Amino acid sequence: MKEGLVPDGADHFIFNLAPFVVMIVAMLILAPIAFAKNFQIWDINIGVLYLSAISSLSVIGIFMAGWASNNKYSLLGAMRSGAQIVSYELSAGLSVLSIVVMTGSLSIKDIILSQQNGWWIFKAHIPALISFVIFIIAVTAETNRAPFDMAEAESELTAGFHTEYSGMRFALFFLAEYINIFIVCAIGATLFFGGWMPLHINNWQGFNHIMDYIPSSVWFFGKTIGLIFLIMWFRWTFPRLRIDQLLNLEWKYLLPISMFNLLLMTIVAIMGWHF
């Protein structure tokens, strides 16, 4: 409930608009996610494409905040964040695409239904596991979480792109960040762990029947919370990277591996080597 202060040299309109842009983008991404068996706000047939397109808009809000603050730390934080999000989006996108190749559909509903007889993390062998590891690393960087929190490096940038923000505007940035963590974990749970789909194993009728008794919303939120715990675990475990190390990791390692892995996943899909 603190007073929202605006610096003297700031661009008032853009300064005030930036937190709302970041928050609106976060809320828009929730639309096509299936939270339970028959609970999906918007069943769009290009759900995965929609998620990729809308999520990349949040960087605009961060740039607006950094530039409009008229503060060198804010501008540095925004530039770092822009470089980081744009870079790691490529690896995250290719990891998502590998599951789309296996499913043959961009619809969230179709991706979940394709995992009736087993989740893709198990069915699609090693390439799915590689995709999942790359996805988790990339989305941790995209959401500015440690060890990739270069945009908010308190020890060198005071607070990064939201240095000049206070009150509710500051709260909106943080709320959007935590909503984004929930969203990326929900997407990971949907693509690799079947979303709300219970754990089914081929020909294990008794086991599958018992799994069906657990409500679909419990499955979805359980998987999502598990992935949120994993991302938080990173924060407690690894030290922060330098900005050059962070970009090297993406462009020299993750991107080539994810491109090769997509090719491998395509071969698995064409040859029908998955379960």
Q: How far is CA 158 from CA 36, 119, 142, 150, 195, in A?
A: 41, 43, 20, 11, 38
Q: Would you say residue 186 has pLDDT above 90?
A: yes
CA triplet 241, 134, 216: central angle to 5 degrees?
120
Residues 6+ apart with CB under 8 A from 27: 179
pTM value is 0.89
Q: What is the 3-state secondary structure (H, E, C) of 159-202?
A: CHHHCCCCHHHHHHHHHHHHHHHHHHHHHHHHHHHCCCCCCCCC
Q: For residue 238, name the pLDDT band (cuts at 50, 70, 90).
A: confident
Interval 126-152: pLDDT, tens: 889 999 999 999 999 888 777 777 666
pLDDT tens-digit map of 68-86: 888 888 888 888 888 888 8
Total residues found in the chain within this entry: 275
Does residue 43 carry a pLDDT above 90?
A: no
More confident residue, 124 or 96: 96
Write the DSSP string, 47-108: HHHHHHHHHTTHHHHHHHHHHHTT-HHHHHHHHHHHHHHHHHHHHHHHHHHHHHHHHT---H
Predicted local distance difference test score (pLDDT) of residue 150: 67
- Calculate mean pLDDT across residues 92-105: 91
Is the Cα dihedral 198, 199, 203, 205 positive or negative?
Answer: negative
In the predicted model, what is the mean pLDDT of residues 106-125? 87
